[in-house]
Amino acid sequence: MLREIPIFEKKNVLVTGGAGFLGSHLCERLLKEANVICMDDLSNSNIQNIDHLLQYPDFEFIKYDVNKPIDLDDFPELAKFKVRFQGVQEIYHLACPTSPKNFEKLKLHSLWANSNAMTATLDLAVKYKAKYVFASSSVVYGPPTPARKVFKETDEGVVNHLSPRGCYDEGKRFAETCVDTYRQVYGLDGKIARVFTTYGPRMKLRDGLLIPDFITDALEGRDLVIYGDENLEQSLCFVSDMIDGLVRLMSTGPDVSVVNLGHDQVMKMKDVAQKIIEMTGSTSSVKFEEPMVFITSKGLPDLTRAKEQLDWIPLVRLEDGLRRTADYAMASKEMVGLNHT
């Protein structure tokens, strides 16, 4: 076993995919209590998501491909965090493309994020005896059926590993196996967050992600497009709730390993689209198009374990979350492509 590594003034935390949607919000939250190392190659992220964090001395952005082995001693900018002596105490592995429109182009990136990047970050966790949280996905359960719409952590998933989405769906399953294997072999305090659909400010636009595209189209007077039929439904968790769940999961002891995080109420996406039209005062309509490979109906999370082990439930109402997301969109010229002069 590794020797205990002393913590100096603050713990050091590494966030992969830190310039992405979830990652940027997580970095922001962690700055309250830690030195934050944000690692991202920007292949599917946006540096603007973390622009406001670059001014803080306890934050450091490193452009790096985490599919390669990671040696933090190679980055002189981390000397201020005494990484050579202190290492890192926590690792959140969030890096993985989630782009519906660019899914085909990023298939290998998805595969690598759930394989090469797993061993790179897990090896780093073993080296520093760090706690580890992996952002998995509800897709590991497979699609819902009439007999099975609510998923417990103990449920066995049914995934077609040779489907067009196999690199992501089966990739997440393999990644979970990596975490559990490192727990068994090295005694790593590794944890798996099964993340259900999450929305909020900083989601990519024009990328096939329904909520930000709905808001943008409503603001610009275009039809709101649902890639599927009127029965397409999802649960929707606001980003601040999801980040709170991830941080709470990291703070648990080694006996906690796999936890569902998401909202346990389902919404038809046509109803969500209509809410956004009404909220923005838009004259837009809702139309339906052929489904994308990356967009499918998903089941609901059983949150019993999250409530009992994390003392966590999602708190933000859908109407409030949509309003906050819309307000952000309206305040950001680059996000919605509007001229607010």
| 191 strand-pairing partners | 133
Read off the pLDDT of residues 140-173 as tens digits, 9 standing for 90 and up. Answer: 998 888 888 999 999 988 888 888 788 888 889 9
Read off the pLDDT of residues 219-275 as tens digits, 9 standing for 90 and up. Answer: 889 999 888 888 888 899 999 999 999 999 999 999 999 999 999 998 999 999 999
Q: Are residues 119 and 221 in the same domain?
A: no
Q: Are residues 254 and 121 in the same domain?
A: yes
Number of domains in the chain: 2
> What CATH number should be reported for the domain holding residue 222?
3.90.25.10
Residue 322 domain-assigned? yes
Read off the pLDDT of residues 157-215 as tens digits, 9 standing for 90 and up. Answer: 888 888 878 888 888 999 999 999 999 999 999 999 999 999 999 987 766 678 888 99
Q: Are residues 35 and 152 in the same domain?
A: yes
pTM (global) more than 0.85? yes
> What CATH number should be reported for the domain holding residue 125?
3.40.50.720
C-alpha span between 213 and 229 (Å, rounded): 17
Q: Are residues 275 and 194 in the same domain?
A: no
Q: Are residues 72 and 158 in the same domain?
A: yes
Q: Are residues 172 and 270 in the same domain?
A: no
Residue 42 domain-assigned? yes
Q: Are residues 90 and 170 in the same domain?
A: yes
First to last CA, the chain: 60
Q: Are residues 109 and 228 in the same domain?
A: no
Q: Are residues 147 and 26 in the same domain?
A: yes
| 287 strand-pairing partners | 225
Residue 191 domain-assigned? yes
Domain containing 53 equals 11-198+235-261
Residue 1 domain-assigned? no
In the set 168, 182, 199, 227, the catalytic residue is: 168
Q: Are residues 101 and 241 in the same domain?
A: yes
pLDDT at 167: 81
Active site residue 168: yes
Give the pLDDT band (50/70/90) at residue 289: confident
Q: Are residues 88 and 116 in the same domain?
A: yes
C-alpha span between 98 and 21 (Å, rounded): 10
Residue 219 domain-assigned? yes
Residue 306 domain-assigned? no
- Say if CB 137 and CB 172 are below 8 A apart: yes
Read off the pLDDT of residues 37-71 as tens digits, 9 standing for 90 and up. Answer: 999 999 888 999 999 999 999 999 999 999 999 99
Q: Which two tokens stand for residue 299?
A: 């089941």
Q: Are residues 123 and 226 in the same domain?
A: no
